[in-house]
Structure 1
Amino acid sequence: MRIKHLIFSSFLLCGFYASPLLGGAESGRTEIKWDEAISPYAGGKPLDVVSIERVRQQANTARVLISQDKQCNNAFLYWLDSSSSNDFYQGVKHYFRLDNPPWKMGFAEIKSITIKNILGEITEVDAIVFPRELPYTLVNNPLSYDMLTEKYQETITLKIRTVNESTGQSLAIGCTSGDWPEQKVDQLTPGQSIVFSYNAADPYAPIWWAVDSVASSDNYPYKLKKSIIYPNMKSAGDSR
């Protein structure tokens, strides 16, 4: 059974919160609403490190980037060949190559970045990394979303190499869909923030850290709004 969080109340009925729909064609009906946590894991089933690591790798390729009201679905990085007119993506990857430790940062571990400085072939960004933790911790230590955020979220400065040392090509952000324009990383504006999110319409989005203890938390942010409408039952002796 998937995890449900009850969010709206007027009447309490069978563990769900219900409200009457008044007026017009909806008169005499009740709408039940709830939030359902988005998670790639089946609730209640035991997890192991291998399963979580597999989803983490999937998460690298499934991030949704949002910045300045533009959205980039299934984002990736590639080397942009400015001398070519074709749409061939060269060196596609789902991580930032860094000029400082930890040397590589996968998309699955990033919550957001804010452009700090453009320094020639290096772009400095302040990155909120979340969660910065290995899968075995999620298996062996059940944590709520708030606990995970408190213990394993941090802001670090990353130095991203934005020019290919061998070819001179520029690092660019690509998308499989969305309204994000083709953009070189070193052409982003200092102070500009990019949020790394997930597809909020996919009930099984690969949010690799969304184990049961996390996804069942009240403050867990990735939820689908659900509702069902059904006719009200007439009580005995009701002749209307």
Structure 2
Amino acid sequence: MSRLIRKGLDTLGKALRETGQALDRTGMEALGSDKHKELWSRHRQVSNLFDQRPRVASNAFVSPSATVIGEVSLWDKVSIWYGAVIRGDRNSVKIGNCTNVQDHAVICTVPSLDSGFPATVDIGNLVTIGHSATITSATIEDKALVGIGSIVSEGALVETGAQLAAGSVVPPGGRIPAGELWGGNPVKFIRKLEDEEVLANVAAAEAYHALAQSHENEFLPFGAAYLDAEKVKVSK
């Protein structure tokens, strides 16, 4: 199915839904009922954008107030926290195993880069993206940590095990070498990281996965007991 046809069907579907809701409101008013005035949320955590469809692993956690839209891939044990936005509308976004994107972080893309490099977002495994951080068409390698409120600009590269201090700004095309701590606006080298500090990045990512599981259980419609029952069945 072509993208144009898909877009037309999407527009038609929305028009039919809105028409149905208008008729429902009119009917309620005719019956003297105020039920149609009750507030409810139409927010969808994971949304298609025409022919661009998110792919979410079965054990990934997307919080009720997060937004994942378009060409986005969330691998095993990923957690997307409250108010975070992942937009794969202009290019693809990939987030690797056991990576966490914390509250109000924004990950988005641009159509292309003058450098000629891919304008996608590629985030590796066991990465922590801090609260309110912004990442645009950049690459974050395994075991890295992007501090709270940091900005990683177009074409930037944060290498394996590197850390960005809170509030750091990595300019377009910037590179943060592996195993180093950088910070400031614009970002500057601070010091080399100890091996234990890189391992702490891994521990933090794993801890967020465990925390995400406890949050996810709260949002299951009938509790989590049936999941334990399934595990017992598989083990027999």
- Verify same fold: TM over 0.5: no
Whichever structure has more helix as a proportion of its residues is 2
TM-score (norm 2): 0.21
Higher relative contact order (CA 8 A, sep 6+): 1
Which of structures 1 and 2 has the bigger CA Rg?
A: 1
Whichever structure has more strand as a proportion of its residues is 1
TM-score (norm 1): 0.21
